Amino acid sequence: MSIRNALHLKNNCHPTYMKKNLQSGKHRVYISILFLLTITGSLPPARAQDQQKIDSIINVLAKTKDDTTKIILLSCLSFNYSTLNTNKGIKYGEEALELSKKMVWKKGIALASGNLGINYKAKSDYPKALEFELKALSINQEIEDQLGIATNMGNIGLLYANRGDTSKALEYYRKAMKIDEKIDNKNGLAINLVNASSIYDQKNDYPHALDYLMKALNIYKQTDNRKGVAAALSNIGTLYASQNKYSEALAYDFDALRMEEANGNKTGIALNEGNIGEVYYYISRTPDGRIRPDSLVSFSKTANLNKGIFFLKKSIESCKKIDYLRGMIKFSKSLSKAYLSMGDSRRAMEEYVAYTETKDSVFSTESNLRLRQIEMAHDKELKDKELSIEKLKNENFVLSIRNKREERNYLLAGIALLLLVIYFIIKERKKTEKLLLNILPQKIAVRLKKKEHPIADHFENVSIIFIDMAGFTKFAENRDPRETVSTLNEVFTHFDHLAEKHGLEKIKTIGDCYMAVAGLPDERRDHAAATVAMALEIKETMKGYLAKDGTPIHFRIGLDCGAVVAGVIGKKKFIYDLWGDAVNTASRMESTGEEGQIHCTDNFKKEVEAFPYEHAAAITFTNRGGIEVKSKGVMQTWFISLA
């Protein structure tokens, strides 16, 4: 579980910057008003305070001529609207940018661009947000504005974090913090401490993450930054949840929610409602006795699960009202899991479809891009052929008027060309069908061709295998991309062959991880035995595997079995996927396993013993003992090998 509230983008309408740029004579008339808005904190709390700031700036703006003061006011409005109404925030940001360009004022261009980046990030339009932030950074570096540079670097780091590039994110956070410390920018330093802590949380480096958060919390308290305090509390709650300390997590989450309600921060409210919902869901999945009931936690797992669903639904509704797509993506997926735990497969599927459709509107993958390119190329080819046929028909019509004797020849030529076009269309269709069968199981492809969509099936007992190439990320660094892809292709092609040999269905590859399943779409009693057979053959055949340059690559294998929901979701780019607790646990077995080992749950061991592998006498289960598994608690696990 990663930190869920690392979302503060830094204010490009800084009090420090305002003071520096409003000291000239023509700006002095507005100093008292703007310092009331940005420094004194004497306005009413929460949303009323934010709205009063905006109203006061708008009143001053109406009396301002087209000069640098107006650009500063427009930029402040753009920033303040980023958490209330992004459309208005973009409108004011574009006005500030246009006026800055007209006046050829570089600082104004940087200021307006940075605030436009903040608003587009709030709308989850990350490419456009990054474009504006990089533009602002370039100008601030040119004019040597250290405060502006630190601000843009922190915002760019946050954008990379939201796209999953944690290395890039941490790089920008550290650069920003170094500048913040140098210029004594406490607010910026605190924000980057919070956001950097989320990266350490993802790496399971909890001491570093908590240290950063506590430092940020102290800074926010010292500077009386209520929004910052609320965000730090929320992130501390999330950090405790990552360590399965759910009672502590709820205490911090509820404190953060109450403060965000007082602040009137709709995004913060939605996030903390979802945070609380997720924690209750995790509690409901925790074995008896691991969570001590208190004023927030019930004895009943069902009661905790119902609380989780209540807060998750409330959060999703809040996200919809403010068009916060990233929150909808995260908490729709969690709500789907909660419904699945309750046994409500229909609602679980509905929420998963909602999660996928929202995610598809924000993110894309290389495979989806490739499929889209194929579709576009195919459509263009068909359109070109249709135009050729139409052109030929027109030419034949003109020629038939001029010379009837040639009519038959042209007609035959047209028919021949038409037949040739039809042949190519049929050939392309077969290519498309072949591509579809490469992506989906044959039975699922047939159902899709019959217009059955979405497809959702429940399977009571299947086995899942995850195989990860340990250390591959380091291997891929500073290598020719073709060499990296060639190695992946060689390994995964071998896995495809073994999956087909043992009757498993390949689901997908995720980076350097390979996932397959036995027992669907055709059910089979020996699904666990088939999965063991594939795992053992991978272990033997890939032992001592070397890349072409001689670099050794090792593999971790994780196994589990249980109930899953499988289906085809999405509107345009189909993928056959499955989810359920067994999928998550198999992934955990892989990530907590050891190089060169097959790691499985106690549940999987019992399934193999109930329906044994044909060489059962040669299989050895080595007890690994109880291990701490993220979001699962302590589990009894085993290593599998041939005797």
Cα–Cα dist 412/431, whole Å:
28
- The DSSP result for 415-479, as a single string, is HHHHHHHHHHHHHHHHHHHHHHHHHS-HHHHHHHHTT--SEEEEEEEEEEEEEEEETHHHHHTTS
Query: What pLDDT score does 41 carry?
Result: 29
Instruction: Give CA–CA dist 127/159, Å, rounded.
Output: 9
- pLDDT-derived band at 380, boundaries 50, 70, 90: low
- Rounded Cα gap, residues 310 and 306, in angstroms: 6
CA dist., res. 121 & res. 7, Å (int): 10
**With contact defined as beta carbons under 8 Å apart, do 43 and 53 qualify?**
yes
Calculate the average pLDDT of the chain.
Answer: 80
Q: Which residue has better confidence, 417 or 551?
A: 551
Instruction: Determine contact, residues 176/192, Cβ cutoff 8 Å.
Output: yes
Q: What is the pLDDT of residues 85-133, one digit of tens each?
A: 889 999 999 999 999 999 999 999 999 999 999 999 888 788 888 899 9
C-alpha distances (whole Å) from 392 to each of 380, 410, 417, 422, 457 are 18, 9, 9, 15, 49
Q: How confident is the model at residue 179 (pLDDT cuts 50, 70, 90)?
A: very high
Residue with tokens 């735990």: 341
| Two structure tokens written together for 511 | 């980076």
* Confidence grade of residue 257 (pLDDT, cut at 50, 70, 90): very high
With a cut of 60, say whether residue 572 has pLDDT above it. Answer: yes
Q: Lowest-pLDDT range, 71-80, 144-153, 412-421, 582-591?
A: 412-421
The region of weakest confidence among 170-179, 373-382, 400-409, 574-583 is 373-382
User: How many angstroms separate the Cα of 604 from the Cα of each of 462, 507, 523, 640?
Assistant: 10, 19, 17, 11
- Residues with Cβ within 8 Å of residue 548, at least 6 apart in sequence: 483, 486, 487
Q: Quick one: pLDDT at residue 642? A: 83
- Is pLDDT of 584 > 60? yes
Which H helix or E strand runs over 517? strand 513-518
629 backbone dihedrals φ, ψ, rounded to 5°: -115, 130
pLDDT at position 439 over 50: yes
User: Residue 367: pLDDT band by 50, 70, 90 thresholds?
Assistant: very low
CA atoms within 13 A on the CB side of 500: 8
Confidence band for 301, pLDDT divided at 50, 70 and 90: confident
Q: Residues 414, 393: contact at Cβ < 8 Å?
A: yes
Provide the pLDDT confidence category of residue 370 given band limits of 50, 70 and 90. Answer: very low
Task: Please determine, for residue 218, whether its predicted confidence score (pLDDT) is greater than 90.
Answer: yes
Model confidence at 613, pLDDT cuts 50, 70, 90, reads low
**Structure-token match 């100008």, residue found:** 139
Q: How do residues 182-203 score in pLDDT, each as one tens digit?
A: 999 998 999 999 999 988 888 8
Which pLDDT value is given to residue 498?
A: 94
Cα dihedral sign for 16, 17, 18, 22? positive
Handedness of CA 604, 292, 316, 92 (dihedral sign): negative
What separation in angstroms does the CA of 616 have from each of 3, 198, 338, 504, 641? Answer: 44, 45, 37, 19, 11
Mean pLDDT across 424-449: 68
The pLDDT of residue 118 is 92
CA distance 191 to 10: 7
Q: Which of 3-17, 136-150, 287-301 has the lowest mean pLDDT?
A: 3-17
Cis peptide before 521 (omega within 30 of 0): yes
The torsion of the CA quartet 261, 267, 268, 269, rounded to 10 degrees, works out to 40
Tokens of 422: 């039809």
Instruction: Count Cβ atoms below 10 Å from residue 543 Cβ, excluding itself.
Output: 10
**Residue appearing with tokens 């109203």:** 55
Residues in the chain: 643
Which range has the top average pLDDT, 22-26, 36-40, 46-50, 74-78? 74-78
Q: How confident is the model at residue 159 (pLDDT cuts 50, 70, 90)?
A: confident
Q: Which of 298-312, 366-380, 508-522 has the lowest mean pLDDT?
A: 366-380
The H-assigned helical ranges of 44-123 are 46-61, 68-81, 86-103, 106-122
* Mean pLDDT score, 393-421: 67
Look at the alpha carbons of 133, 137, 138, 140 in this order and tell me if their dihedral is positive or negative. Answer: positive
Residue 461 backbone class (left: φ over 0; alpha: ψ -120 to 50; beta: rest): beta
Specify the DSSP class assigned to residue 610. Answer: H
* Most confident of the following: 15-29, 182-196, 607-621: 182-196
Is the model more confident about 29 or about 503?
Answer: 503
First to last CA, the chain: 38
Q: What is the Cα–Cα distance from 154 to 176, expressed in whole angstroms?
A: 6
User: Cβ(456)–Cβ(344) under 8 Å?
Assistant: no
Q: Encode pLDDT of 528-546 as tens digits.
A: 999 999 999 999 998 888 8
Average pLDDT of span 549-555 = 86
Question: CA Rg, the chain, in Å?
Answer: 29
Asked if residues 185 and 16 have their Cβ atoms less than 8 Å apart, the reply is yes
Rounded CA separation 217/236 (Å): 9
What pLDDT sits at residue 576? 80
For residue 46, is pLDDT > 50? no
Percent of the chain with pLDDT over 70: 79
- Note the pLDDT tens digit of each residue in 317-357: 988 888 878 788 888 888 888 888 888 888 878 887 777 77
Distances (CA, A) of 455 to 85, 335, 350: 37, 19, 11
Confidence category of residue 302, pLDDT binned at 50, 70, 90? confident
Q: Which residues partner with 567 through β-bridges?
A: 456, 577
HSE, CB side, 13 Å, CA atoms: give it for residue 414. 19
| pLDDT for the residue numbered 203 | 84
Where does the pLDDT of residue 400 fall: very low under 50, low under 70, confident under 90, or very high at 90 and above?
A: low
**Pair 567, 455: CB distance under 8 Å:** yes
